[in-house]
Amino acid sequence: MHVHILGICGTFMGGIAALAREMGHTVEGSDQNVYPPMSTQLEQLGIALRSGYAPAHISTGVDSVVVGNALSRGNAAVEHVLNTGMSYTSGAQWLSEHVLPGRETFAVAGTHGKTTTTSLLAFLLDAAGRDPGFLVGGVPENFGVSARLGSGREFVVEADEYDTAFFDKRSKFVHYRPTVAVLNNLEYDHADIFPDLTAIQRQFHHLVRIVPGRGRLIVNGEDAALAEVLAMGCWTPVERFGIEHADGSPEVAPVHAAAYDWSARLLSADGSRFEVRRAGSLLGVVAWPLLGRHNVMNALAALAAAAAAGCDATALLPAFASFASAKRRLEVVGVARGVTVYDDFAHHPTAIRTTLEGLRAKVGKARVIAALEPRSNSMRLGAHADALAPSLDPADATVFLHRPNLPWDAASVVSAVRGEAGTVPDVDAMIAKLVADVRDGDHVVFMSNGGFEDAPRRFLTALNR
């Protein structure tokens, strides 16, 4: 089969491309924005990339066009596909029809932590000798690719609640029909397609409806919004996870009367060491390189899902020490002039806060500087504007990239930030300001869900000069 993928450099669509290539199909694709790490992965796989959505970029003889959800009516390539009567489908539907049949699907859903938890679950299953297939919305360091078929029974997929395509407005995750679903957390996001939290909860309940009774739901026991989803109806065994104090009391008031099935007790404030308990019984201690309370929750979710696959949870605990998260998850780009530079995908106030809190717990009183691009649709629409300033409290200083097309005034957010804060109009100005302001021992975190014009690496290069 000859496949053309529209939007191929998106993390999900790039994974579809990798799987199709591994299956022996001829794969090509086009995208408007081409940037690492996905562009690098595609080039290494020998997949032809074309910049822009010109109809001529779709080769003659293509059997099917896989359309990413970033494309809509009016796009030149989309109009060409419709006008010529070409066969087309969505990425989620293609995965459902060509990869998932005959597999046990493990779907990881939630507002935050999907990429890390999906990567970790695939890593744990691999450590248990299962050779799982996976599709991750990023590039897991342990595997070096965002997707692979695997020879095992299990397939792990990052399950996004965003809509599927311009012709299919269901959430992508309803296509996957998982045996095990992880519900990591749930907050309001994607303001461009969901009017409120209730609308997202309805989509999550659609996912809950299709998990079979023989399967498992692994659910954040601290999350009230998820408890409301389950209250709409649940037909599958549920296992809940959460974090406890040293005395066994929950850190956050649980939203369900039953005790956590899986719990952790922090042994270090930065989350790099913690005890794991199952039904109250100590399984052992995890020591690993990731930081933050949020990542401890991700770890519990992944471990519970691996156990649902029949793996020995206790035997898997030592494997955590060698787990490396996906690229752009507080990824250390390098150190220059005593300044540590990070690249991070955080694009929601909760993710920004938890990431910065984890780093703060690790570095103590060292200066933390956040360089932020409000790029996600929700950010650009201003849906998170009120929560943005408080989310930056763990940082000592913040530099906002306030592009001219940002439709809301960042001045009110900047004025509400606890530490130093300012705006710059472009990436060149951001780099110049940071180079002038940083000093030995600082930690600079670049935060964006886009390419950020390669700002972290350009900043590192400027420091080296």
Residue 255's CATH number: 3.40.1190.10
Question: What is the pLDDT at residue 167?
Answer: 96
3-class SS letters over 193-208? CCCCHHHHHHHHHHHH
> What is the rounded CA–CA span in Å between residue 133 and residue 196?
34
Question: What is the pLDDT at residue 35?
Answer: 67
Range of weakest confidence among 202-211, 270-279, 356-365, 423-432 = 356-365
Task: Identify which of 69, 71, 110, 106 has the alpha carbon closest to the alpha carbon of residue 90.
Answer: 69
Give the pLDDT band (50/70/90) at residue 407: low
pTM: 0.83
pLDDT digits (tens, 9 = 90+) for 22-53: 999 999 999 987 666 677 878 888 898 998 99
Count of structural domains within the chain: 3
Judge if 74 and 128 occupy the same domain.
no
> What is the rounded CA–CA span in Å between residue 171 and residue 96?
13
Judge if 176 and 310 occupy the same domain.
yes
- Whether 464 has a pLDDT exceeding 70, the answer reads yes
Count other Cβ atoms within 10 Å, centred on residue 433: 15
- Whether 384 has a pLDDT exceeding 70, the answer reads no
> What is the rounded CA–CA span in Å between residue 276 and residue 217?
19
Question: Which structure tokens are listed for 326?
Answer: 């996906």
> What is the rounded CA–CA span in Å between residue 11 and residue 17?
10
Range of weakest confidence among 87-101, 162-176, 179-193, 279-293 = 179-193
Question: What is the pLDDT at residue 385?
Answer: 61
Residue recorded with tokens 């705006």: 423
Higher pLDDT, 376 or 107: 107
Task: Identify which of 152, 205, 156 has the alpha carbon closest to the alpha carbon of residue 179.
Answer: 156
Q: What is the mean pLDDT of residues 142-151?
A: 93
Range of weakest confidence among 142-156, 187-201, 332-346, 360-374 = 187-201
Give the pLDDT band (50/70/90) at residue 295: very high
Judge if 310 and 167 occupy the same domain.
yes
DSSP-derived letter for residue 16 is H
Task: List Cβ neighbours of 168 (8 Å cut-off, separation of 6 or more).
Answer: 90, 92, 93
Give the pLDDT band (50/70/90) at residue 73: very high
> What is the rounded CA–CA span in Å between residue 270 and residue 256?
27
Give the pLDDT band (50/70/90) at residue 190: low
Please name every residue paired with 344 in a beta bridge, in sequence order, or none if there are none.
447
Question: What is the pLDDT at residue 390?
Answer: 84
Judge if 271 and 129 occupy the same domain.
yes
Cα–Cα separations (whole angstroms), residue 65 to 3, 39, 50? 6, 19, 14
Give the pLDDT band (50/70/90) at residue 423: confident
Task: Identify which of 457, 443, 419, 446 has the alpha carbon closest to the alpha carbon of residue 359.
Answer: 443
Judge if 119 and 225 occupy the same domain.
yes
Judge if 184 and 269 occupy the same domain.
yes
The radius of gyration computed from the CA coordinates of the chain, to the nearest angstrom, equals 22
Q: Name the phi and psi angles at 212, rounded to 5.
A: -70, 160
Judge if 267 and 134 occupy the same domain.
yes
- Whether 410 has a pLDDT exceeding 60, the answer reads yes
Query: Quick check: helix, strand or coil at residue 105?
Result: strand
Q: What is the mean pLDDT of residues 78-90?
A: 98
Question: What is the pLDDT at residue 204?
Answer: 96
> What is the rounded CA–CA span in Å between residue 59 and residue 181?
38
Listed residues 59, 91, 123: the one ending a domain: 91
Q: What is the mean pLDDT of the chain?
A: 90
User: Do 66 and 5 touch, CB atoms closer than 8 A?
Assistant: yes
Q: Name the phi and psi angles at 254, rounded to 5.
A: -65, 150
Give the pLDDT band (50/70/90) at residue 408: low
Question: What is the pLDDT at residue 238?
Answer: 97
Task: List Cβ neighbours of 434 (8 Å cut-off, separation of 6 or more).
Answer: 369, 371, 399, 444, 459
Q: What angle do CA 68, 71, 77 make, to 5 degrees?
A: 100
Sheet with strand 147-148: strands edge to edge: 147-148, 133-135, 154-158, 104-109, 180-183, 216-220, 238-244, 262-266, 273-278, 281-287
Question: What is the pLDDT at residue 414?
Answer: 78
Task: Identify which of 233, 228, 231 has the alpha carbon closest to the alpha carbon of residue 213.
Answer: 233
Q: What percent of the chain has pLDDT over 90?
A: 66
Listed residues 35, 61, 91: the one ending a domain: 91
Q: Provide the CATH number for the domain around residue 370.
A: 3.90.190.20
Judge if 72 and 7 occupy the same domain.
yes
Q: Given the DSSP bridges, would you call strands 397-401 and 420-424 parallel, antiparallel or unpaired?
A: parallel
> What is the rounded CA–CA span in Å between residue 280 and residue 354?
26
Q: What angle do CA 343, 345, 349 make, to 5 degrees?
A: 120
Helix residue ranges, H only, 58-187: 76-84, 91-98, 114-127
Judge if 117 and 253 occupy the same domain.
yes
Task: List Cβ neighbours of 188 (8 Å cut-off, separation of 6 or more).
Answer: 194, 196, 197, 200, 383
> What is the rounded CA–CA span in Å between residue 442 and residue 340?
6
DSSP-derived letter for residue 189 is -
- Tell how far CA 326 is from the center of its chain: 9
- Whether 378 has a pLDDT exceeding 70, the answer reads no
Question: What is the pLDDT at residue 387?
Answer: 73
Listed residues 47, 69, 91: the one ending a domain: 91
Query: Quick check: helix, strand or coil at residue 311?
Result: coil
Count other Cβ atoms within 10 Å, centred on residue 288: 22
> What is the rounded CA–CA span in Å between residue 324 and residue 318?
13
pLDDT digits (tens, 9 = 90+) for 103-120: 999 999 998 889 999 999
Question: What is the pLDDT at residue 419?
Answer: 81
- Whether 186 has a pLDDT exceeding 90, the answer reads yes
Q: Which domain holds residue 420?
A: 331-464
**Cis bond before residue 37 (omega within 30° of 0):** yes
Judge if 105 and 75 occupy the same domain.
no
Q: Averaging pLDDT over each range in 218-232, 374-388, 443-457, which range is the top one?
A: 218-232
Question: What is the pLDDT at residue 404?
Answer: 74
H or E stretch including 327? Answer: none
Q: What angle do CA 212, 217, 223 make, to 5 degrees?
A: 145
Judge if 76 and 206 occupy the same domain.
no
Question: What is the pLDDT at residue 301?
Answer: 98
User: Do 14 and 145 touch, CB atoms closer than 8 A?
Assistant: no
Judge if 428 and 309 occupy the same domain.
no
